[in-house]
Structures are given as structure tokens and as C-alpha cells.
Amino acid sequence: MFKNMFHKSNAAAPQGPVEFIVAGLGNPGREYENTRHNAGFVTIDRFAEKHNVQINRLKYKALCGECTAGGKRVLLMKPQTFMNNSGQSVTQAMSFYKIPPERVIILLDDISLEPGRLRIRRKGSDGGQNGLKNIIYLSGKDTFPRVKIGIGAKPNPGWDLAKWVLSRFTPDEQKLLLEAADKACVALELIIGGDIDRAMNLYNS
């Protein structure tokens, strides 16, 4: 249904001013690759791949790339500040491009959702996610659209939360994560194109 949303064949440089920022949250470094907390990194990499662009330029304390999505020029970001300081990177880019929070989409992990599920919100609190908490704190706003990617709850209450979010997905969960990332990519196109309500109707769990 949404095949024509992505244009991989022609990765010409986006034209005009940056109108949207998409920030996938995670932790940099090999030791954190494919951990639950890096679901935002996995998802934004998937989005970049569909647009045939790379996120490899270091700017605003982040690895960055650009694409055209929903008819808009979009800055893609993977903050390299570590999760808890994500706001340092995101707010720097917002300030440079003069982008309001309503046009900054955050991709983040959510322990309250099972792997494979998404939840899209127009705005709201951080829900206990430290990366989003830092973005809200440094910007003074909570009106960031966000796409939450399920990583599953702790197996039992006794588990340390920090260790859980830094653990890796099982092979079956990894497959579900990639399926959710693909859905999130379609949701991003809709949100950037001005139809967040449709994205929520399609994918909210």
C-alpha cells in the first residue's frame, strides 16, 4: 500500500531549507549495537536505508544525514552523546535550523510495549525514558511528536532496569523489531507529510 513512499533509486541532494528533524535515540559504540535501548538507532538506520542515504556526518554532537520525505527536506540524527544527554544534540540542531518541537520527531524505545509494537504520540511527558526526558528538559517543551518502539518489559521485577535495556534481543525479538521499524518508517512519512492522525490510527498498539 505504501511502496511508492520511498524513492531509493535517486538519492539527489535534498533542496531547500531543513523543515523537519528526525532523531533516533540510542548509545554510540560497538558494545551497545543492537541492544534494546538502541531501537531508535535501528529504526532511523532503516529509514535512511529506504531513502538510500547514509547517516555518517558528525554535526551537532550527532551522526547526521539528509533526505527528502513527505515532500520536505529532513535532517536525520543519531545523537552520539549517550542516551541520557540526547537533548544536547537535538536542541543544538533545533537552534541552528530554527525548527520548533512540533517538527522534531523522536524515535525511542519503550519497555511498556512488546517487541514489534509501536505507539505514536503527538506530545506528552517523557514516560520515564531518559533520552526524551533530557530533550524535554533542555528545550523546555514537551510537544515533540514521538514514535515509541516496543522492546519488552523486564522478565521479572527483580531485574535491574539498566541491565535490561542494555541487553540484546533474542533472534525472534530482533525479527519483530525490524518489522516494527518498517512500520515506523511508513509512520514517519505520514507524520512529516502532515498526517499524524493516520499514522496513529494505523499503528498505535
Spatial neighbors of 34 by CB under 8 A, at least 6 apart, are 42, 168, 169, 174
8 A C-beta contact, residue 61 and residue 81: yes
Mean pLDDT value across residues 122-142: 95
Model confidence at 195, in pLDDT bands (50, 70, 90)?
very high
- Tell me whether residue 37 is one of the annotated catalytic residues: yes
Return phi, psi of residue 30, to 5°.
-60, -35
Return phi, psi of residue 100, to 5°.
-75, 160
Q: What is the pLDDT of residue 6?
A: 55
8 A C-beta contact, residue 153 and residue 111: yes
Does 182 have pLDDT greater than 60?
A: yes
Q: What is the pLDDT of residue 157?
A: 86
**CA 187 to each of CA 92, 107, 121, 205: distance values in angstroms, whole numbers, following the listed order:** 25, 11, 11, 13
The one-letter amino acid at 27:
N
Record the pTM.
0.92
Helices (H) and strands (E) in the chain, counts: 6, 7
Mean pLDDT value across residues 144-159: 93
Range with lowest mean pLDDT among 3-7, 62-66, 151-155, 180-184: 3-7
d(Cα 191, Cα 188) in Å, to the nearest integer? 5
Q: What is the pLDDT of residue 14?
A: 75
The residue among 109 and 3 whose pLDDT is bigger is: 109
Q: CB-based burial of residue 59 (10 Å sphere; 0-12 exposed, 13-18 middle, 19+ buried)?
A: middle
Q: Tell me: the pLDDT tens digits for 4-45?
A: 555 544 456 677 899 999 999 999 999 999 999 999 999 999
Q: What is the pLDDT of residue 74?
A: 98
Helices (H), ranges, the chain: 39-50, 86-97, 130-139, 161-165, 171-192, 196-203
| Closest C-alpha among 200, 87, 73, 92 to residue 146 | 200
Query: What is the CATH T-level fold of the domain 14-203, as seen in this structure?
Result: Rossmann fold (3.40.50)
The residue among 82 and 12 whose pLDDT is bigger is: 82
Q: What is the pLDDT of residue 205?
A: 67
User: Percent of the chain having pLDDT more than 90?
Assistant: 86
Return phi, psi of residue 123, to 5°.
-170, 180
Quote the DSSP letter at residue 105.
E
8 A C-beta contact, residue 173 and residue 152: yes
Mean pLDDT of the chain: 93
Return phi, psi of residue 59, to 5°.
-150, 150
Q: Tell me: the pLDDT tens digits for 95-129?
A: 999 999 999 999 999 999 999 999 999 999 988 89
- Residue from 37, 50, 146, 183 carrying the catalytic annotation: 37
Q: What is the pLDDT of residue 9?
A: 40
Q: What is the pLDDT of residue 5?
A: 57
